[in-house]
Structure 1
């Protein structure tokens, strides 16, 4: 049986990027904070995880 081995990839440590996931907006609230409007949305990812985020943090297909 072949043994699994791993090699450390130091060239990738500290790199930044983004992850694209499908999500559904399940709740949304608009706040007016001293003349500045902000929209918070609760989303459900395709893996079932739910969390609040800002509308500016996602690209919606609307």
Structure 2
């Protein structure tokens, strides 16, 4: 998964790749940060996380 995410991160400016990479990030968050699972069920929190990661160019980081 990390290799695929890194590969997609190279094409960061392509929206479809960026969204796919965000979903990989979200999946990794579910597996890495169980304490915050309830936060990610909030659709507004997901949107905020997407915007935050998009502007910080860290979509592929767990």
CA radius of gyration, larger in? 1
Q: Name the structure with the higher strand share.
A: 1
After TM superposition, the score normalised by the length of structure 1 is 0.22
Q: Name the structure with the higher helix share.
A: 2
RCO comparison, higher one (Cα < 8 Å, 6+) = 2
After TM superposition, the score normalised by the length of structure 2 is 0.22
